[in-house]
Amino acid sequence: MLSGSLALAAALVLALALAIASSLGGCDPVHSDAIDALGGEAPGVRKGPLHRPGQPCTTCHDGELGDPPEFTVAGTIYKNEGDTSPAVGAVVTMTSVDGKTYASTTNEAGNFYVTPSEFRPVYPMKVVVSLGQLGVKMTSEIGRNGSCAKCHFDPPGPTSAGHVFIPTNGMTP
């Protein structure tokens, strides 16, 4: 039998170990499986702003561990339906139900991302994507998830409208 002070010390060590283990994440098998399902990085593309175009950004960028950083809204914009050419320089304008608006510009991969310090939308949210003189308004509102690819993925069908695109066929934006 342990003495009182030794038992207290053992209990404190166990409690500290459990607290550290739970703070490290990886304890949620559903979340871990969702991340694993994304697969590895594309060859030659380092983790960063240009990686994983078209994938659901907030699966990893959920703010749970602090690294990778949290994104409130993020996604990839392509040039045309069925085309994986990025819409570089497209402006994604988001308006949350409280009237606050924020615009983000896509990078060389067509990716854009918004951090909580920049904009934290109150859902539902409306979105307009523009590239030069072209503009497309999303016909429905975003109800709860800021990761475009949670709903917009290929192939288009009953569960997805397909990837987000701005129709530039034959046009010079």
Average pLDDT of the segment spanning 121-125: 95
Residue 138 in any domain: the answer is: yes
For 30-57, how does the pLDDT look when each residue is reduced to its tens digit (9 = 90+)? Answer: 767 777 676 777 777 777 777 777 777 7
Counted domains in the chain: 1
Residue 40 in any domain: the answer is: no
- Structural domain that includes position 87: 47-168
Residue 10 in any domain: the answer is: no
- Which of 14-18, 56-60, 77-81 has the highest mean predicted lDDT (pLDDT)? 77-81
Residue 12 in any domain: the answer is: no
Residue 5 in any domain: the answer is: no
Q: Are 153 and 162 in contact (CB under 8 A)?
A: yes
- Which position has the higher pLDDT, 120 or 6? 120
CATH at 142? 2.60.40
Q: Is 26 helix (H, G, I), strand (E, B) or coil?
A: coil
CA separation (Å) from 81 to 4, 76, 154? 70, 13, 10
Residue 17 in any domain: the answer is: no
Residue 56 in any domain: the answer is: yes
Per-residue pLDDT, 173: 42
For 67-102, how does the pLDDT look when each residue is reduced to its tens digit (9 = 90+)? Answer: 788 889 999 999 998 888 999 999 999 999 999 999
